[in-house]
Amino acid sequence: MSKLEIVKVPDPILRETSAPVDSVDADVRRLMDDMLETMYDAPGVGLAAIQVGVPRRVIVLDVATDEEEPQPLLMANPEIVQLGETLRTHEEGCLSIPGVNVEIERPAEVTVRYVDRDGAARELAADGLLATAIQHEVDHLDGKLIIDFLSRLKRDMIIRRFKKQQRPASV
């Protein structure tokens, strides 16, 4: 396994729609493993392949607390098939937009269909933080970021700040 570089805003790849995975083969498993290592190292609770520059529908998650055993979830072609009616507001951060947190209201429960690391079709009903993290990562696969939940003015200010940070310093 190896750590991958996390793509940051305003890189345009983050706005791309990710392509489905044809099958979970050795390359996809290696990508999942590398993404998991990258996510744990960051540290974060979720990571989409597009965030490491790979426009494929692959996400990894682990919402276990530090006191719990790791509970990694590796998903290819995740598809949210049902959203709960109850809403939950949670402050979300993003490894591609470090230092920015956004209060976002999302359904508190989701059901997601996906293919696991072994190529088996699965369905998972999730609630709480896991439901939020799944929705957040699936948004990435569709080119949507947490800053899209903000007003245009706030979103533009954040993007300008990141563009400014990328400029080389004058000597």
- Which are the catalytic amino acids? 137
107: Cβ contacts below 8 Å, ≥ 6 apart: 83, 84, 85, 86, 87, 88, 131, 135
CA 32, CA 48: separation in Å to the nearest integer?
A: 9
14: Cβ contacts below 8 Å, ≥ 6 apart: 7, 50, 51, 96, 140, 143, 145
CB-hemisphere CA count at 13 Å for 19? 7
Task: Name the residue among 60, 48, 62 with its Cα closest to residue 17.
Answer: 48
Q: Is 77 left (phi over 0), alpha (psi -120 to 50) or beta?
A: left
Assign 171 to helix, strand or coil.
coil
